[in-house]
Amino acid sequence: MSQRGTARPDLDYEQLAPTVDYVNRVVQVAGKYTLDEPFEVGWGNVVLDVTPRGLSTRTFRHPEVAFRVHYRLLDGDVLIESDRGTRTLSLRHESVASFYRAFCGTAAGLGIGPPNSSLICEIPGSPPAFEDDRVPRDWDADAARLMNTAVNLAADGLETWQAPYLGHRPRVGVMWGGFDLSATRWRPQRTTPAPGRPAFQQNAELHAYLSVGFSFGSSRSPHPGMYAYLWPQPDGLGSRAWGVEGAAWHPDAGLVQLPWPALMRTPDPVRSVVAFGDAVQAAAVDLAGWPDDLVCPRVDGWYMSRTPTAEVQRLEQEWHEHVHARD
């Protein structure tokens, strides 16, 4: 597990909101290409990878060109990398519409066509399409740096938490619609989606899952921090402990929430993200009937490359006996 838990960015929603809102919109431009990819349960095909300098799509392999798009928050630009060459364009644009025009023109120079849709998704009150969003924008490099530091810290914890899960787990990454960092665990149990919701949300509720993530907050809930929820939602969540002081169940939101300041007060925020996720997994076992043998001991690659198989099996057996003893 990482020992880097020294970066403790102070996140103020009001300070970050203009930059978060702008980045949320422009990452949807390249994000649209992910919808051309094969669907992965849990919308794993749409996540943006967290990089040392920002957010990146996976590699798209089209018949005529292979490419990926890297939103480099620390550099204030977008790098389009392809087998035909590379191009960059600035994130400093007067509007989302201006950025969209520049992106499509730059991509065309590499033989990359525009996305198959220009609709803006999951942002209440936004114009319908990128071309229509002419709200003046300013680029705040300090806010972008804070965003990058926070999302890398949260990703460090979530990737560590996710690693020993034996079931299906999409890559940890940013969902470009809602713009939250998500780590999701699935189990093969069919469920009935909630009625009255958009198709993309209902189609994510066809099987049982739990999600742990990070959000910069929203105008309705202007509080950055970690969150978690289970689908379907079991009874009894209000009486649980969630592994980190300050984490609590909020029934109105349908979320377990760990405020960012509470996370930053812990001795090691990365380890605290792992503890938070482990508490959510325990709730799934105790309250929702999830199997208790879906998680292995948390070890590193050196351990697995050097340790005799019999010793690894013994560790796993002791781990699961410990889990049963907790029950």
Torsion of CA 203, 223, 281, 192, to 10 degrees: -20
User: In the predicted model, what is the mean pLDDT of residues 149-173?
Assistant: 97
pLDDT in tens, 3-57: 444 578 999 999 999 999 999 999 999 999 999 999 998 899 999 999 999 999 9
Residue 126 has pLDDT above 60, yes or no: yes
pLDDT in tens, 182-212: 999 999 999 999 999 889 889 988 999 999 9
pLDDT in tens, 206-262: 999 999 999 999 999 999 999 999 999 999 999 999 999 999 999 999 999 999 999
Is residue 98 classed as helix, strand or coil in its secondary structure? helix
User: In the predicted model, what is the mean pLDDT of residues 57-86?
Assistant: 97
Question: Model-level pTM greater than 0.85?
Answer: yes
Torsion of CA 296, 297, 302, 307, to 10 degrees: -90
Q: Give the H/E segment covering residue 146.
A: helix 141-162
How distant, in Å, are the alpha carbons of 26, 80, 89, 103, 108 from that of 65? 22, 12, 19, 16, 11
What secondary structure letter does DSSP report for 179?
T
Residue 323 has pLDDT above 80, yes or no: no
* One-letter identity of residue 214: F
**Residue showing tokens 């939101």:** 253
